[in-house]
Amino acid sequence: MAIDLATPVVRWQKSHGRNDLPWQATRDPYRVWLSEIMLQQTQVVTVLDYFARFLQRFPDVRALAAAHLDEVLGLWSGLGYYSRARNLHACAVQVVKLHGGEFPRTAEALQTLPGIGRSTAAAVASICFGERVAILDGNVKRVLTRVLGFNADLAMAANERALWAQATELLPQRDLPRAMPRYTQGVMDLGATVCTARKPACLACPVAELCVARREGQPENYPVKTRKLKRSAQSLWLLWAQTRTGAVWLRQRPTPGVWAGLYCFELFDSREALEAAVPEKYRAELQDDAVFTHVLTHKDLYLHPVRVQLPARALNAAGGWHAADVWPQLGLPAPVRKLLQNG
């Protein structure tokens, strides 16, 4: 027998959900889309400041589309997962060029835009336009697999498709313009604040009576996903070249690769390779800074900054000298920005 998940979730969201986030005050698809992209792999508390800065600089999709990608990457710097920023800009350009500056109103059409996958498209379409489509981000997967007792391995595509189908069956059936925004936001809120990965607050859960995992007493066993990406490690040497006036040598990183599209010190796989890139007469002046670790999604980077002061014409590599007053406008990887800020 089908369960009624929608009614208690909608009721709970009205009184206990997160109703004070800045992107919830409107059904503007630009703001909802921007928040959804920023929230991928990123905590709400981190997103808040970036969201406000983006809206101040790019108040609508036309302003974002008209901007240079470097400026977008500059504002995004520190938020990580920079392919999101590149797709964000590309998506804005397409919305303006192909759709007259108006976001498509269906999830199917939204998925044709750069960087918008099935769940993000459904979030925008359901929240902004009341379309009856399911989302299935990490929080929602956790809620649904626990409520349903769905113990199939989500690392297998067929099992994930089956969960999508069940997620669709559980959607509200009536009053969709009102119910769908509440339900979509509610099930996300539930996963983020109550049905958490560790130590879920089952006593505060509005759907506890429906939940198979709670009856089993093992909610942390859900969702099941056996295939995990292995972490790797990489050591990189950063040539921190600087002129007497304080300008630093930065090169825009190629795509694809680490920090693609961002401005960065020259990177090398070894100290010897770095030395070879510096004119011989200056190699004795190379100074090693403290090694530190920067953590990416599935890789640990061991970074070795090496400083040297050079005349402006000393380097032949692709790149250029950038004075301190332009650094804030450049898309810089977080560790490079931190090094420059700390001097």
Give 88-103 pLDDT, tens digit per residue: 999 999 999 999 999 9
Residue 229: what pLDDT?
A: 66
Fold adopted by 5-221: Endonuclease III; domain 1 (1.10.340)
Q: Check residue 312 and give its pLDDT.
A: 84
Q: Which residues are catalytic?
A: 36
343: confidence class by pLDDT, cuts 50, 70, 90: confident
Distances (CA, A) of 292 to 201, 286, 298, 300, 336: 37, 18, 17, 10, 12
255 with 267: CB under 8 angstroms?
no
Nearest to 16 by CA among 199, 204, 195: 204
Architecture of the domain delimited by 232-342: Alpha-Beta Complex (3.90)
97 Cβ partners below 8 Å, 6+ apart? 65
Distance of CA 179 to the CA centre of its chain: 27
Domain limits, the chain:
5-221, 232-342
Does the structure show a pLDDT above 90 at 50?
A: yes
Token pair in block for residue 203: 């006593």
pTM metric for this prediction: 0.83
- The pLDDT of 23-50, averaged and rounded, is 94
Query: By mean pLDDT, which of 23-37, 154-168, 178-192, 224-238 is the weakest?
Result: 224-238
The answer on pLDDT for 24 being more than 90 is no
- pLDDT, tens digit, 9 for 90 and up, residues 210-257: 999 999 999 999 999 887 767 899 999 999 999 999 999 999 998 888
For the segment 287-335, what is each residue's pLDDT rounded down to a tens digit?
999 999 998 878 899 999 999 999 988 776 678 999 999 998 899 999 9
Q: What pLDDT is recorded for position 309?
A: 95
